[in-house]
Amino acid sequence: MNETTVEKFRVAAQMIGAEVHSCGSGLGTANATGRHFSTSNELSFFLQELAAGRSICASTLPEELQAHLSGLVVSDLSTAADATLCISFADAGIAATGSILVQLTDPAERAATALATKHAVFLRTSSIVPTLRDLSASLKAQLLGAGPTYFSITTGPSRTADIERVLTIGVHGPKELHILLLEGE
Amino acid sequence: MADKRINTNINNTFLRKALKNFATAYPIARAKAFEGIDFAALRHRIAVSKLAGLQRLPELIAQFTASAEKSGAIVHFCRTPEDANRTIHAIIQSKNADFLVKSKAMTSEEIELNHYLEARGVRCLETDLGEWIIQLAGERPSHMVMPAIHKNKEEVAELFSAEIGQECPAEIPFLVEAARNALRRGFLSGQVGMSGANVAMADSGAMAILTNEGNARLVTTLPKTHIALIGVEKIVPSLDEALDIIDVLPKNATGQKLTSYLSFIKGPTVGDDRELHIVLLDNGRTDLAANPDFQAALQCVKCGACANVCPIYEIVGGHVFGHIYVGGIGLVLTPFFHGFDKAEEILKLCIGCRKCNEVCAAEIDIEGLIVDLRDKIRKPFGQKFMFGTMMKNRKLFHTALRAAYLAQKPFQSACGRIRHLPLILNRETANRSLPPIAEIPFRDLILKRKVLPAPAKAEKVLFYSGCLADFVYPEMCSDTVESLEKLGYSVAFPQEQSCCGIPARYSGEMDVAREMAKLNIDVLLKEEADFVVTICPTCTMSITHDFVKLLADDPLYAERSKRLAAKTLNYSELAARKIPPSPPLSKGGETAKQVVTYHDACHLKRGCGVFEEPRQVLRELANAEIQEMSDCDKCCGFGGSYSIKYPEISQEVLKNKLANINETGVGILAVDCPGCKLQIEGGLEASGSKVRVEHTATLVRERME
């Protein structure tokens, strides 16, 4: 994954109101709003800060991430309606629009990512592609596969301009979207 | 009734300001969203794939149904709104439910579902913020994508205060938060959820939904039963076609690259007895898809861009300019979805500027379809005589125009212009004076004119002036002939030419329009000539486009109309062929350049695709420097008889144009259309402006002296 695609992703996502942070050593932090976390403690502390003392729910995360977040008290997804922060993992990123692809076939995960006030999503930089069309082969395979499926391409926080066309953030979905970039495969 | 609503909305200051702000902001946002994207290629792909799909719609429906059922969904095909309402009610009843939470679906508005369900004891809650606002107000959407654009924050605060039972200040962030909290309770207690879909895919049985607010995800997740109400025209073969639509939709709708949420749903997701019911709504769609004359209307992806750029929508809003579906495509779909009686009035509201065609995401000739549909509605009393008897008879028509010269005399002011017209004609003309009908029309003037010997090998041009120039602006015609001769053409004016038939066609009198086309084709092909030139873009469009379309099935005239179309040019195109002129036009060396601003006539730019040549001609042949105005290609509000039928609207559109002209501070406005000249000159004169309005031909001719 080349740096430019990651950089484009970062710029596009921030432009649309998401906050982009990086975890790991090699990633630059050349942006105003994003944070950089080099240790598990820093990351856990940040997430706790986001939750502001209220409950955190999380979907099933890859094992090495779970290890990183072992210091965090996390409840299961069914508590989502009361949770301030929902933590999940994205399958892919789209550089052109700063979007993330999240698998939501599990209704509990779907509800959690839509109900929580803040949504923090881990995204591997290696899974960022230039445009939506670069995902079309895998999306098509998923749609044509057996059984039901549900996925979302999320671009920034929930927004509306339905009153006097004034852009307002956070109408039904999360008011904040934090994308946590993970270096490597 | 319609007139009353028109006036109410014209005088609604908030609505006017909201629509004007949007009309100004939209093109900028849209252009930015499409940066680096070939819009023409994208929309062409959409048009081709949608049309191909419509031509085998029953097959696509069957394929989608089979795929969706395979994924575990239950599919209901509903032929009528009644079927759909009944089916949805039955699903809700089968869940012992009495509360439906909804995300935005135009199809639900189309079948008036809320009304049906609430009469049967089922509470409906719209969760899209704009939809909720209009639900509380008991209204219908005034825009497909921004349903509550007509409501200001004070009105919203009042509605919310009453609903929530607590005083809400008119502050937008507060109101949005109040809606979040109030609707959150609805999501959590809703027993059945309902959504629409932006696109459905036949090969997988999946659907895609785009939202910004995130309500569709909640509606399709929290209640265990999800009903998706989808118009059958939304079905495309596969993800490939769907991605093109997803690509164009947010950019064209609101100028966003992508909405916050794009969700793909296939089948009912597993666990706790979840059900997905897909209600496929026909309501005339399969018949329309099989109708070769109007099937293109279903290519629509419901982006609403046709409303966003419409100068009439900008003035009157969606509650006047449409029925349930609004904007240009709303006018077209209404007769098929809701019946011709609902469409009669609104079909007349289009001014014919073709701005919608320029932005349509599916390359639909919206304006053309509107005009064709007027043929199918009831005609006003007296129209048959006007077009059928009078206009078809050239001599009778021209005699009537000559008589009008005498009849208008008492109304002329000292300067010769008309400030007040008799009877119904004087309604709302206070903001525009009218030029009088000339004492001697051009067709008589030219008979007295000394014919100059044409240079050897000069290309021969037949001049088709159009009625307005002939009878109101004979000097514009003389300028045309003189300047073209000076440029080296030999020009003749066939006396038997008559009206191009556009007024008949726009009034839905297609048979008359066809007769007029044949008559003019005969006249203009009788004499051998290299070119036919017009100075009225509507006539040019009529000859090059409409004649061919009207006579496509005529064994004799199909070929003739094409032959005539191929050699017919607008003045500026013909003049531009002689750049640089040889010998040079001006005798006395270089004079100072004159600064002009240019107004693109709708039918020249979008009817004929001509907008470079007039500017070339002004620069190179009229020694002009062009200072462009804002929205130079936006309609002036004339629209032929439109300015008489809807003077209130016409005047408001004109005001926008005058403001843009005045903003340039330039003393000369160049136009290539006698209609635009009549409208704009009248507006300028009535407002006391000294700006001169001239046809390009006049400015070129002046340069020669």
Cα separation, B251 vs B305, in Å, equals 9
Is pLDDT above 70 for B425?
Answer: no
pLDDT at B411: 60
Q: Give residue B485's pLDDT.
A: 93
- H/E run at residue B463: strand B460-464
Q: Decide if A167 touches B, using CB distance below 8 A.
A: no
Average pLDDT, integer, range B395-403: 81
Q: Which of A96-105, B378-387, B425-434 has the highest mean pLDDT?
A: A96-105
Bridge-based pairing state of the strands B207-211 and B199-201: antiparallel
The helix (H) or strand (E) run that includes residue B170 is none
The pLDDT score that the predictor gives to residue B428 is 45
CB atoms within 10 A of CB B218: 27
Q: Where are the beta strands (DSSP E) in B282-350?
A: none
Q: Give backbone dihedrals phi and psi of B587, rounded to 5 degrees, phi first.
A: -80, -45
> Which pLDDT value is given to residue A130?
96
pLDDT at A176: 96
Confidence of residue B178 (pLDDT cuts 50, 70, 90): very high
* Separation in Å, CA of B100 to nearest CA in chain A: 17
Q: Calculate how close chain B gets to A13, using CA atoms only, in Å.
A: 11
**Which range, of A11-20, A51-60, B363-372, averages the lowest pLDDT?**
A51-60
Distance separating the N- and C-terminal Cα atoms of chain A = 10
Give the pLDDT confidence score for residue B385 in this predicted structure: 73
Q: Which residues of A42-66 are buried (b: 16+ CB within 10 A; e: fewer)?
A: ebbebbeebbeeeebbbbebeeebe
Q: Percentage of chain A with pLDDT > 70? A: 93
> CA B542 to CA B565: how far, in whole Å?
9
Q: Could you give the residue ranges of the DSSP H alpha helices within B190-232?
A: 215-219
- The residue of chain A with its CA nearest to that of B15 is A164
Return d(Cα B13, Cα B169) in angstroms, integer.
21
For residue B433, name the pLDDT band (cuts at 50, 70, 90).
confident
**Among the listed ranges A1-15, A110-124, B66-80, B345-359, which one has the minimum average pLDDT value?**
A1-15
Distance CA A156, CA A174 (A): 9
* B529: pLDDT strictly greater than 80: yes
Interface of B with A in 600-639 (CB under 8 A): none
Mean pLDDT value of segment B403-415? 67
Q: Let me know: does B431 contact B655? Beta carbons within 8 Å.
A: yes
Tokens of B509: 């009198």
Interval B1-56: pLDDT, tens: 567 888 888 888 899 999 999 999 999 999 999 999 999 999 999 999 999 999 99
Mutation pick from A164, A167, A176, A177 vs chain B, by most beta carbons of B within 10 Å, is: A164
What pLDDT is recorded for position B548? 97
Residue type, B311: P
Q: Are B333 and B300 in contact (CB under 8 A)?
A: yes
Work out the minimum CA distance from A82 to partner chain B, whole angstroms: 12
Shortest distance between the Cα of A118 and any Cα of chain B, in A, equals: 13
pLDDT recorded at residue B606 = 96
Kindly report, residue by residue over B605-639, the tens digit of the pLDDT: 999 999 999 999 999 999 999 999 999 999 999 98
Q: In Å, how far from its chain's centre is CA B116?
A: 33
Fold of A3-182: Rossmann fold (3.40.50)
pTM, to two decimals? 0.91
pLDDT reading at A94 higher than 60: yes
The percent of residues above 70 in pLDDT, for chain B, comes to: 95
Q: Set out the domains of chain B in order of their start, with CATH numbers.
A: 423-576 (3.40.50), 594-703 (3.40.50)
State the average pLDDT over residues B58-71.
Answer: 98
Look at residue B424 and tell me whether its pLDDT is greater than 60. no
Nearest to A163 among B175, B239, B262 (CB): B175
Rounded to a whole number of angstroms, the distance from the CA of B153 to the nearest CA of chain A is 6
The two beta strands, A36-37 and A19-23, are parallel
Q: What is the pLDDT of residue B498?
A: 93
Higher per-residue confidence, B412 vs A20: A20
Taking 90 as the threshold, does the pLDDT of residue A100 lie above it? Answer: yes
Ordered by start, the domain boundaries in chain A are 3-182
Would you state the pLDDT for residue B526? 96
pLDDT above 80 (res B587) = no
Tell whether A34 lies on the interface with B, counting CB pairs under 8 A.
no
Q: Which residue has the higher pLDDT, B257 or B382?
A: B257
DSSP string, B631-696: TTTS--S-TTTHHHHSHHHHHHHHHHHHHHHHHHT-SEEEES-HHHHHHHHHHHHHTT---EEEEH
pLDDT-derived band at B396 (thresholds 50, 70, 90) equals: confident
On whether any CB of chain B is under 8 Å from the CB of A30, the answer is no
pLDDT at B421: 43
Name residue, tokens 């230039």: A130
pLDDT at A103: 95
Give residue-wise pLDDT tens across range B496-521: 999 999 888 888 888 999 999 999 99
Interface subset of B 134-173, CB within 8 angstroms of A: 146-149, 151-153, 156, 172-173
Interchain proximity B218–A172, CB inside 8 Å: yes
| Tokens 């135009």 -> residue | B106
Look at B131-140, B284-293, B411-420, B661-670 and tell me which has the smallest mean pLDDT.
B411-420
Count A/B contacts: CB-CB distance under 8 Å: 174
Asked if A147 lies within 8 A of B267 by C-beta distance, the reply is yes
- CA–CA gap between residue A125 and residue A135 (Å, rounded): 15
> A14 phi and psi, to 5 degrees?
-70, -35
Determine the pLDDT at residue B418: 58
Tell me whether residues B260 and A153 touch, CB distance under 8 A: no
Summarised one tens digit per residue, pLDDT across range A123-154 is 999 999 999 999 999 999 999 999 999 999 99
Q: What is the pLDDT of residue B1?
A: 52
Percent of chain B exceeding pLDDT 90 equals 79
